[in-house]
Structure 1
């Protein structure tokens, strides 16, 4: 009995770390995709998944039918893919009872799905796969996967591989095709449309058995190198022209890069502005990946050949959009529009961002033929600039490739748009774009606002927060780019989650400027944390989790932090029984000119202090700050707590003095009084070198000058010592108000050698003799009275 009790005590002590570990994460979703219209069974593989309860879908078209945790590293899920689900990758998270995971991608296709079967490394023995198949596979180091297809003479074969676009490791997939005799017929690596994934269209020259090969371009591979190989006769254009249209319009589009795909008329969405991908679709099927397309209110002008010279420029209007293709090397396309002096336009090329291989150079010429503006790379490798028309008349636009390249898929779109205010909201220090507030606790978010062509205060609204969760924040002031937001979950909030939208609106009468979340979640980085592959999200993943084992509270200071001063903020900790782990503290947001360190609450500790410092130019005002605490997989926040940054209550002008080793002196300090305060305090002279001392002096609100006696030891170091300052710790309602300032200096000289010292004075003369003149003492200092 007693032995069991001892064991129980040991187990309770161990709860300080392991039992509280949360923060679910997804490594992979296997298989990496499924066909639309199907019911798919997948395994979500990651960490801390034993209490998984739900999936969160950033995109419509997929629903969760059933979720069963298998163990801490796996959850088995049954998904229903809608028949009209969007083709391509979908963003998914898993939610547990205590957290929300990172974002991972799951691909939806239209073909029959199979899993590759190992071994498949011998092209002579691999089995044939039917056309109209998506193969889910993986590549090990130095691995090559082979798949055979049987083709008739003249039969079309289309192949596309999804690898890096699945959001895993840096998988630069290579796709090859070998003919019946074993000769390599096609070798594709990177495509502009498909990032570093490959695709091709081939027509069989003869009947027979053809072999497809998938590998990493440098024959790398390993864990996480998953791919989806689409094999069929589906259309695979690599661009479209025009690349945009007006909402609700009928757009006549011409698919580029696949000669078998005819032009089509498509109906554009009426409720969308900006990027709206479209699916190339024919009686041969639908492409495995959509093509980017822009919807805007600008009228469209499609190039009319020939337009290779300014005199042949295709006429359009501004504001307006101009669509074309640089079809041959060395080609240039020209357009023209009539402009009026004083008009201001933002001119932008959409090409590489839309999957075109074009590396654009954009030039606008004035009516006299001079270049008004030109640009190569402004947005990635796409061109952009703002122009102000200096005269009335015909203006000419020129588009060409930076290296003089061209080809069937070198499509582009130039938008000449009036300047409009733009607002985009995003996150700082929140790479995963998710917030989890445990029951009865809080979570912290840094929300950013990027304004373009306007300024002013912003109002915020949060829609779609889980039941019981609220957001506390101060509105954006004019010119303010970042604010802290603290999310609180009531103790009785049900555990749940959702995707919340955040909207900012210019808070001025009659203003119609608003914007929402526009944030790129980084899925793959290369050297020096450079984002390589991202997924844009427009909503924040939010959840109420089960109660955390600790909470923290920032004790509101009564006294201000004055410029050039500091303060130790007190953080109180409440722990659940059995939780003893240390807690790391930090302040994630501070006003301009204010800095802070970090602090640790020791094991089983209940409080800690965290120091903040205000510079001489710190922004004055009353702010609400929060402290964030992390331990054992949990991160929680204090409430937003008021802290004031004020002007110094007293400042000190410290003089510069000189002396010799072993010779005392004194230093006079001018005292400038500010905020009125009561009582008498001590002022210290600090920054003195070794061997030099001074005694504190009394100071009150009536003091205008302090005199510090300075004792200099005979072995004090010689030299000039700058940075002398005076510190006085005043008091307000029992709390310290540290005031300090300086600028003083002490110079210590070595005494003159004895041979250069003045001689002893002569004896006093007799009365009848004239008094000799008193010799002048040799010294660096003037004689004092």
Structure 2
């Protein structure tokens, strides 16, 4: 799906730096987290068996391919070398066409999500050279060709076709999830006249498809290339060529769970068709309908929306308020913007205070419609409207201001239209929902798999994200269908939070293997039931600025048991709280198996709100402990939180990871508050700084108070206080070289000791002004004496100031005189 999500923290950040050390640190080689980068071929025909090579890194001990959809079984896995294996696959005759999601489980890890394409046609390989129009590669009709679009490469294939037959060509390129491939496909006649071409249709993302009715018997050329002639060796494709149907839309584009629905297939050159479909009784991820007729089956499904809502179908003409199609919410209104400039209207009766959500599905179902939706009271203009709240589909919420009849309309932003501009507007009362997910698995950014690989006798933690709609309060999590011997600890997801750590633990004798677990979120009070969904998105193809170009979302969580790990880690749980504006050292202890001495990188993958943790912390080679610094800001949420620490290390063959237990970390209010009185002093002198003390909670004994942040060459002594202290005074001593100016970053570190552990407060701020001493004042003149007869003789003239030479001579005489007197 086309969606942008900012990249999360990278997986195992310290492992690359440790790799050279790890190769020497472990006495015997072990496998580690596998990296699956390629499957060749990228797909196969259903109803057949074939060999597929899986390659990447650390795959030599592969044990199982885990499929998210049914229809493919693995007959055998054979090691080729440490970085590749060969799997013998059996594809069921009724396997769904399109993409099947998979992960490769090795003895010690689980791979990234990859896909394998299942088709209905016999398979062939591209045979170079085939880049000359006059010398195309011959292929039989109804063939799937695996090829590569290189730089400035144009591949040509020729087929024989009969007049009046359908000829379709569809290329899977971007959808294979390998690279940012923008394929172009065209059908030409033998005279090089282009009969149909396709570059970026909405239906198939950036991949192209073309379909024609053959005008006359003869040879027809199918051309495939990168749209800008800028392909490369990674631009692999699967080209489906045959007389299969290829419809541009299905209508209605959605239906009610468990019901039979008659759908109309639109856009096939052989004409429209209808079929009756029984829909699944429960939601199915990535659900689609696939057109099939006597000639064949489409190579990829048309997406189809499943919901609990009944369908309402537009009745033309409905291009104005007075002709609006009536509906009764809750309902799904389905229609088509059939021609340029078309505007569809629906009408419903609303009562004062009723609130409805209007959610349009267009581009989400791969319709070319770029929707704009408006709503208003019958006979009046629009009261609300939206273009692309759902990027690019429309959404708004409306509360009826009075009992009245209301209308809403749908049109294309650019006034475009056509027979395949289908849409579906679900009109529902506001109701709470929960959507659970993992972080996005950015394959090329090294985030690692969003799946759990739990070593026997050890632990593996990961983060889950909870999104609430119209719902508050804490969420309880339910994770089911775990492998035998695996348990999960899932703390409550706090009302203020969207992320929570969970922890899987495997027994020492748990069987090696895996399962796909379900994940649900529900109000923790147990009183309310709400719909809950889960999805884990993997994004193998990114564009500029790491925008997601192609991704797949699977509806379950892969949880696996792997071989034991040579170490485990544990949080030494604090016996005291971390206070607001305080700090703490979180001790981490490692238990190593004999012979394992490698360094272990430790970190918190998630911090409680308002809490920060230090990065780059490593338990050194051969050591057993490290301390992760924690701090809390003044707004940290007061609560006892569950935290875990990840421990990443490695062996000669790659990275491994374990987790600590879920430990309690209590964030509390400070025990004391301080109010600083501003102080000032001249350089070289002393002054007092008074601090008022306010007890906020009782504490035993004395607490130390250290004034920190003092300027250079300013000193003072530490103090102590008790719970009864009201004030304290710091005597500040300055130096003549202490920097003059206003120093406003002073703070006190108050350490309260409880249960033998420190509770560190960092309380500020105080200000100290250091002044430069004033220069000495000049001597004051003698007071004037009143004149009295007789007048005294005139005062003697002031002595002439001595020159520098005279001063030196005088000083020399005085020294000689002084020496002679001794």
Shorter-chain TM-score above 0.5: yes
Per-residue Cα deviation, 1:721-762 (whole angstroms, up to 9, x for no partner) = 0021122333223322212312210111222233xx375698
> Are positions 1:609 and 2:609 aligned together?
no
> Are positions 1:401 and 2:416 aligned together?
no
1:121, distance to aligned residue in structure 2 (A) = 2.2
Equivalent runs, 1:87-236 vs 2, <5 Å: 87-236=97-246
Q: Which residue number in structure 1 is paired with residue 640 of structure 2?
A: 622
SS at match of 2:69: coil
1:85, distance to aligned residue in structure 2 (A) = 1.2
- Which of 511-520 and 413-422 deviates more? 511-520
Q: Which residue number in structure 1 is paired with residue 649 of structure 2?
A: 631
1:565, distance to aligned residue in structure 2 (A) = 1.4
1:464 to 481, 484, 505: 481
Contact 1:430 / 1:445 at 8 angstroms: preserved in 2?
Answer: no
Q: Which residue number in structure 2 is paired with residue 22 of structure 1?
A: 32
> Are positions 1:699 and 2:710 aligned together?
no
Q: Which residue number in structure 1 is paired with residue 345 of structure 2?
A: 334
1:458, distance to aligned residue in structure 2 (A) = 2.8
Q: Distance in 2 between matches of 1:11 and 1:681?
A: 44
Per-residue Cα deviation, 1:372-423 (whole angstroms, up to 9, x for no partner) = 2111111011111011112223222211110111122111112211222111
Q: Distance in 2 between matches of 1:308 and 1:571?
A: 68
Q: Distance in 2 between matches of 1:676 and 1:267?
A: 71
Equivalent runs, 1:514-663 vs 2, <5 Å: 514-598=531-615, 599-632=617-650, 633-663=655-685
TM superposition outliers: structure 1 runs of 4+ over 4 Å: 10-13, 758-763
Q: Which has the higher contact order (CA 8 A, sep 6+)?
A: 2
Q: Which residue number in structure 2 is paired with residue 347 of structure 1?
A: 358
Q: Which residue number in structure 1 is paired with residue 44 of structure 2?
A: 34
1:149, distance to aligned residue in structure 2 (A) = 1.0
Q: Distance in 2 between matches of 1:719 and 1:479?
A: 43
Q: Distance in 2 between matches of 1:71 and 1:501?
A: 35
1:198, distance to aligned residue in structure 2 (A) = 0.4
1:479, distance to aligned residue in structure 2 (A) = 4.1
Q: Distance in 1 between matches of 2:85 and 2:386?
A: 51
1:312, distance to aligned residue in structure 2 (A) = 2.1
Q: Distance in 2 between matches of 1:276 and 1:492?
A: 38
1:381 to 392, 399, 418: 392
Q: Distance in 2 between matches of 1:298 and 1:529?
A: 37
Q: Which residue number in structure 1 is paired with residue 431 of structure 2?
A: 420
Q: Which residue number in structure 1 is paired with residue 523 of structure 2?
A: 506
> Are positions 1:301 and 2:319 aligned together?
no
Q: Distance in 2 between matches of 1:82 and 1:462?
A: 30
- Which of 302-311 and 234-243 deviates more? 302-311
Q: Distance in 2 between matches of 1:581 and 1:429?
A: 30
1:735–1:296 CA distance, 2 compared to 1 (3 A): closer
1:670 to 689, 692, 697: 692
1:17, distance to aligned residue in structure 2 (A) = 9.4
SS at match of 2:175: helix
Q: Distance in 2 between matches of 1:13 and 1:311?
A: 77
1:683–1:313 CA distance, 2 compared to 1 (3 A): closer
1:668, distance to aligned residue in structure 2 (A) = 0.9
Contact 2:599 / 2:649 at 8 angstroms: preserved in 1?
Answer: yes
Q: Distance in 1 between matches of 2:22 and 2:571?
A: 28
Q: Distance in 1 between matches of 2:632 and 2:526?
A: 36
> Are positions 1:45 and 2:55 aligned together?
yes
- Which of 263-272 and 362-371 deviates more? 263-272
- Which of 14-23 and 382-391 deviates more? 14-23
1:13, distance to aligned residue in structure 2 (A) = 7.5
Per-residue Cα deviation, 1:102-143 (whole angstroms, up to 9, x for no partner) = 010111111111222223223323342111111111222222
Equivalent runs, 1:234-273 vs 2, <5 Å: 234-273=244-283
Q: Which residue number in structure 2 is paired with residue 322 of structure 1?
A: 333
1:314, distance to aligned residue in structure 2 (A) = 2.1
Per-residue Cα deviation, 1:601-628 (whole angstroms, up to 9, x for no partner) = 1222211111000122222232232111
Q: Distance in 1 between matches of 2:671 and 2:84?
A: 60
Q: Which residue number in structure 2 is paired with residue 84 of structure 1?
A: 94
Contact 1:47 / 1:73 at 8 angstroms: preserved in 2?
Answer: yes
SS at match of 1:643: strand
Per-residue Cα deviation, 1:248-292 (whole angstroms, up to 9, x for no partner) = 333222222214143213123241347631111111211111111
Q: Distance in 2 between matches of 1:136 and 1:13?
A: 39
1:369, distance to aligned residue in structure 2 (A) = 1.6
1:75–1:682 CA distance, 2 compared to 1 (3 A): same
Contact 2:583 / 2:762 at 8 angstroms: preserved in 1?
Answer: no
SS at match of 1:14: helix
> Are positions 1:686 and 2:696 aligned together?
no
SS at match of 1:347: strand
Q: Distance in 1 between matches of 2:307 and 2:750?
A: 63
Q: Distance in 1 between matches of 2:35 and 2:28?
A: 16
- Which of 679-688 and 658-667 deviates more? 679-688
1:590, distance to aligned residue in structure 2 (A) = 2.3
Q: Which residue number in structure 1 is paired with residue 72 of structure 2?
A: 62
Q: Which residue number in structure 1 is paired with residue 5 of structure 2?
A: none
Contact 1:332 / 1:398 at 8 angstroms: preserved in 2?
Answer: yes
Q: Which residue number in structure 2 is paired with residue 7 of structure 1?
A: none
Structure 1 unaligned blocks of 5 or more: 1-9, 766-785
Query: How many residues are matched?
Result: 753
Larger radius of gyration: 2
SS at match of 2:576: coil
SS at match of 2:178: coil
Contact 1:252 / 1:263 at 8 angstroms: preserved in 2?
Answer: no
Q: Distance in 1 between matches of 2:746 and 2:24?
A: 51
Q: Distance in 2 between matches of 1:12 and 1:392?
A: 73
Q: Which residue number in structure 2 is paired with residue 492 of structure 1?
A: 509
SS at match of 1:19: coil
1:429, distance to aligned residue in structure 2 (A) = 7.1
- Which of 86-95 and 706-715 deviates more? 706-715
